[in-house]
A and B are shown apart, each in its own frame.
Chain A
């Protein structure tokens, strides 16, 4: 009896214990994090890596909040994305005038202090994408699942992003590259941030630009032309970025010209054809546009935030904040399709005399980020710098004749030709990329504001007003930096 009793007992106990212990190994490994996708999943399939790239473009054109997950919305119209960064540059020049609305401090050149939102946004936005690029490059490199072609393509995409954003940082936070290539303002990272990462010491501009050029060259070699859509960065866009970099570094105009040609396709007359002038400058499908932000007005829109459209379009409910300098308007011939300036208010206030209808604001407006016409002008400038003034003039004329039926080919030469090219850049690209600011920095020009301006401030050549101070948050958190960096 007792033996059977003990036997029963032990069987029962063993049975219970064995069922419990048998599952312990996998027990803790099984649960997976379903709140999102972990890295291992993201870099296992080409489509998911592609969606990471798509996510970055959504971040460019959205309503930028510096912390996606904290439940607090810190976004603002003038720091909403890539388009906002460009418009802050646009409004620093002489050709456009800003009313006291969004961007008023950028307009008045009093928005560069280390604690300001503009400074913080520009720094954090660009560095965030750089980290994304590093994550993409490392994730793709280390992936055991992706094929070689996918790897090459997306490493190239990552490098293109990284170069593009280091270029933006170098323009925004440092004086002109060629003034002093040894100035150190920017920490450089080529690996993703981890929990153990510490911010690094700033690198001299020469190193930054070396990285930019290396990245772009490697990217261009591996990037295909095909892409999911024109908001995606592929070979032609990468070439365009390189062309822009080269006209800042100004030490290889030959390469600048060939790169610009590779970007716009080589046939200038065909490249400059644009259907957007006079129709609202809001259509990404225009053959002239190489790259832009895409909106569809329903689930892909940032509503009222979109610069330049929401700032410049006075004919629709928008911020209606940007006006045009009458002297700039006078530069256009009356048959120029780009002369889209009207006096709709009849206002006595000098700065409010003209508005532009170049941009039509709707929730579905697309934003131009890079156009073939700009590349043609870069080619013209490079040809001029190489001494090939005839090539320069004919390239210039290719654009001018496409915009103005009464245009005649330029007879200028020397500095006058360069000035004409720079003026053409302003006439073609007004409101788009901050062309006055960009050219003033690289050619060490002054920006003299006409008296019609609401804030008449003159920017001397090489002024520190043309670049932002390093943010206080960075100085405080970076052991390799102190307040002297902003001296």
Chain B
């Protein structure tokens, strides 16, 4: 007995001694890439422990380990390598670039996670993708890259921000914009103040579990922007990027007729009205049309008195005296875009820094629109001692832009002008013979259409039937619309490691966004000429303060890992708005000091606050089974005290099946993960900061006494809109990452939707904003990426992503509501068209027809007939929406030796567009002077003609009224960006002393295929056009230098 024990003890001792002897070995070496270049800061970790070191500037490392241990070498962007420690004390390792693991660490809500451990649905866009596009408003780069994200830019004003919808439309009265977080704090400034070059990555949090930590503001998804930071142990790296090129409108606007065609068409309309409305004979009608044409239009651009003869043709010998191509005058060609960027980043052993200056100057399609911006950023972190780390991120951006009105409903905005005034009206004033009239200085004068600068009594070329007293070129060049945006964002954090695994992080972020909008309407020409000019200036200051205190505990016990977060957050936003407006200016004076009549003053300071407590628990077992719970409680000042607090919970789980024993060694299916999550989020972005409070409006007056009046009633019990969201998904990789994909199914329902509920008018109020509806968004998202070739010389990767989205009402305050051109009813989406059905043109008389239901005595439909009475025609639920059936993007990246080519397509199929820009150009002749589309030549001419364009008429008619005739399929594919680049080879770079030199040509939006031609396919989510300016296609060439 004693002998056995003694031998056992000896064995143990020997092992102990051996292991003791085996400890204390120092292994050192160098970590480099395949070409031998050192990888500074590479990490070397003893596998299975948290012990590790970082390689220094030269890639050298030194670590205390022992034989039998495994060292794991890793570096961002490179594949890990594990080396067993043997007898040697020197281990040199070379790592190969691994494109697949580039996104291994993902920025998530309040922290980072490895891609593997994510249980929700997150789309990540790296800086590599962002830099292949030229986006002044950086989030435009998400289009066609992340499935489930809909991006739409309305109008071509440079600097305009797109509307973003993540997974459908979850709110109607509340804002449906996603929450934007920049470096951890809510961003309330203007997105166009952030330069795309300063962005490291963008994470789009789409489902409940990923965004639950943002609880009350996360209902519409969250977009997290992380700016670039320096890396430890990195020599200062200077990057210079410079791009310059020019742009043109992508698709432009609808075709318009020139003077000859316009006169012919108007003549035809007059003739038809004379003949078919006023009962004249064909001969009389034609003669009267010839005689009355110029009278009707007011101007004659030809040299003969009656330029159109009785057959509708141009009289021989008629010379064209002028023509105004308003589109050429207002829309530019070949306008400039320049962008220069200088960044310096690096780090010592303890600190990192990133400094960037960006200058952008972009002109837009409408004269004189432009956007000029300077954006600077400085991000610093430093490890004060081994338990205390602090960081400071600060950025300042100032932009100045000229924003001529080009998308509003104003009849005199740039695009409306082009559509509303035909080419026969001259730009400069002329006399009755068409000769230019000059002013006293011998200069031409703009023709305002009201006889300006000329003696009264001029028979023609004097009074325009439309838009008198205005001139678009005068208002664009003499008026001013200037916007200055200054955005300062500063955040500081302190991270304290209390003990192993437990960290406390406190961060404070401050943002100051000043929006200065200055608008000057000329004193002599235009809408303000009767008050001698008007200046209107707004200064809106938005300050945001965000304080987050977070406690995080992370630990691993064997195969179990847990991470617990406990966070508290306080957020406050203050809007300080000031407006002043004055009239009565002397010529040449355009600042408010010079106003002789102060017209209007306004100002208001109002705040919005949020206080929250949140927590997250993540658990995983053996890196195979993941569980995550989060809970958040928010108190918002937007609701009354009783309803202020909301609780939002979510749970998610994932299973990495490929790590199971039965799939572990499978070489085809190398990665397979199932994930699912369910949670509840809230939306507190109500219209107005205090929607629950009934307010008395000020500003009334009676007999000199100031008056107030109650403005409707508010629901004091108004509460959070809630979204219940389910997500299930699969991530997979085949052939070791050659093929990678994800499939997601989501189903989310917005309940307690905030809508206007109609009230009985005897109550004294017509409607009340209350929680009363539900809407459901559900669909599929797919993405597939493949690495087709990956050799030393040639790489080719492709990717496709798309989503299928559906939207439907599940609860409404009234059974059916007609909302403009849409019908809201259970089962319909928000944007289902409800308009009259076009039934074609009657060949017998050329009149337009629509369908009409015939009802019996009980109100049931017994028949459907055609009618020529537009008011009597029935509106039908078209089963067509403006929401696409499928939308997504296609990417392809090819690299051959030093050359590379990257393309990104985005596409959308199944959406419909009600083109009122087009319908306004069809048969517009009842309003003399409005531009006409060449398609009018297809109109019905005589009995027996088969055509879809009804006869032209110069009298009141409904031929171009809203119907399915103008409802078009709006499918399109756009080559969103194409980059062709050349990188100087390493050998040449070494000789020059640079680390990177790249020349490239970049083209954005250069090619579009569309099912409905003539107008920009990106119009609006509700499928209505609105005289918007076109987007731009840009071709630039650039150079990137790094040293």
Contacts and interface: CB of A to CB of B under 8 A. Distances in A.
Contacts of A52: 696, 707-710
Given A34-B605, A35-B604, A35-B688, A193 B713 contact: yes
B717 interface: yes
B761 A36 contact: no
A59 B700 contact: yes
B763 interface: yes
Interface in B578-635: 604-609, 611, 635
Interface stretch (B360-368, B416-424, B729-737, B764-772): B764-772
Contacts of B845: none
B708 A123 contact: no
Contacts of B788: none
B763 A199 contact: yes
Contacts of A5: 387
Contacts of A473: 758, 760-761
A457 interface: no
A66 interface: yes
Interface stretch (A130-138, A403-411, A432-440): A130-138
Interface in A269-307: 294, 296, 299-300
A55 B635 contact: no
B498 A9 contact: yes
Contacts of B635: 28
Contacts of B572: 27
Contact of A30 (B498, B609, B764, B768): B609
Contact of B608 (A31, A57, A69): A31
Given A13-B496, A54-B700, A477 B606 contact: no
A17 interface: yes
B117 to A, nearest CB: 27
Interface string B691-715: 0011111101111111111111111
A161 B711 CA distance: 18
Contact of A231 (B604, B703, B711, B715): B703
A197 interface: yes
A63 interface: no
A475 to B, nearest CB: 9
A51 interface: yes
Nearest to B761: A124
Contact of A477 (B604, B701, B707, B761): B761
A129 B761 CA distance: 12
A6 B385 CA distance: 13
A243 B765 CA distance: 30
B698 A194 contact: no
A189 to B, nearest CB: 7
Interface stretch (A37-45, A210-218, A385-393): A37-45
Nearest to B574: A31
Contact of A33 (B693, B701, B715): B693
A120 interface: yes
A473 to B, nearest CB: 5
Contacts of B547: 20
B690 interface: yes
A127 B605 contact: no
Nearest to A10: B498
Contact of B770 (A67, A195, A478): A195
B568 interface: yes
Given A37-B708, A51-B705, A477-B760, A24 B498 contact: no
A131 B604 contact: no
B504 interface: yes
Contacts of A299: 701
A37 B695 contact: yes
A16 B693 contact: no
B824 to A, nearest CB: 16
A471 B709 CA distance: 25
B637 A31 contact: yes
B759 A197 contact: yes
Given A36-B696, A54-B701, A55-B708, A195 B715 contact: yes
Given A28-B609, A42-B696, A51 B707 contact: yes
B568 A20 contact: yes
Q: Sorted from nearest, which 6 A-B pairs have the closest CB atoms? A: A131-B764, A199-B760, A55-B707, A36-B695, A54-B707, A195-B715
Given A20-B549, A127-B763, A199-B763, 4 more contacts: A31-B609, A31-B689, A194-B716, A474-B762
19 contacts: A23-B570, A27-B609, A33-B693, A35-B688, A38-B696, A52-B696, A52-B709, A54-B700, A55-B696, A127-B764, A131-B764, A131-B765, A192-B713, A193-B759, A195-B714, A195-B718, A195-B770, A296-B704, A477-B758
Interface of B: 387-388, 494, 496, 498, 504, 506, 547, 549, 568, 570, 572, 604-609, 611, 635-637, 641, 644, 688-690, 693-698, 700-718, 758-768, 770
